[in-house]
C-alpha cells in the first residue's frame, strides 16, 4: 500500500512538472511570435493597459523594441529603450535550451531553473532589491515618455 501511494505521488509530481514545462513552451512561443512579427514590422500597436489608460509606460514597455534593437546589434540603444533587456535577453537565450532538455530527458532542468528563481525571490532582500530596481526603471521610462 505504501509503495502504491508513493508511486501515485511521484506520477502526480511528474505530471505537474510536465504541465509547467508546457506552460513555459506556450509563453515562449507566443513571445517569439510577437517578437518576429515586430521584427518584420507586421504590426506596431500598443497593448499595454497602463499606457492605454494612464498614458504612462509600465516597466515592460519597450521591451519588444529593445529586443529588436539588440538583434540588430544596438546594445546601448536597447538598454536605453528598456534596461530590463539585461534580464530578458539572457533568459530568452537560455530558455529554449532548458525547454529542449526538459522535453528530451526526464531531468527537468527547466523546473530546477524555475525553482531556483522562485527560492531566490522568496528572500525578502532579493525581492526588495528587484522591486526597487523595477521602480527605478519605471521612473526612467516615465521620464523618457516611451
Provide the domain limits for residue 127.
2-144
* Residues near 58 by beta carbon (within 8 Å), at least 6 away in sequence: 48, 50, 51, 138, 141
Note the pLDDT tens digit of each residue in 97-138: 877 877 777 666 777 788 888 899 999 999 999 999 999 999
Domains identified in the chain, total number: 1
The whole model's pTM is what?
A: 0.70
| Residue among 14, 30, 40 at smallest CA distance from 102 | 14
Note the pLDDT tens digit of each residue in 45-71: 667 788 888 888 888 888 888 988 998
- Distance, CA of 76 to CA of 142 (rounded, Å): 19
Amino acid at each position: 500500500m505504501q509503495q502504491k501511494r508513493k508511486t501515485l505521488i511521484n506520477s502526480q509530481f511528474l505530471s505537474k512538472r510536465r504541465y509547467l514545462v508546457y506552460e513555459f513552451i506556450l509563453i515562449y512561443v507566443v513571445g517569439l511570435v510577437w517578437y518576429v512579427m515586430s521584427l518584420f514590422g507586421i504590426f506596431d500597436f500598443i497593448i499595454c493597459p497602463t499606457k492605454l489608460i494612464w498614458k504612462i509606460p509600465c516597466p515592460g514597455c519597450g521591451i519588444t523594441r529593445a529586443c529588436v534593437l539588440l538583434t540588430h546589434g544596438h546594445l546601448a540603444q536597447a538598454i536605453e529603450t528598456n534596461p530590463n533587456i539585461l534580464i530578458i535577453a539572457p533568459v530568452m537565450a537560455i530558455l529554449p535550451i532548458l525547454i529542449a532538455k526538459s522535453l528530451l530527458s526526464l531531468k527537468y532542468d527547466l523546473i530546477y531553473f524555475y525553482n531556483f528563481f522562485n527560492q531566490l525571490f522568496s528572500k525578502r532582500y532579493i525581492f526588495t532589491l528587484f522591486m526597487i530596481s523595477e521602480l527605478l526603471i519605471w521612473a526612467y521610462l516615465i521620464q523618457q515618455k516611451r
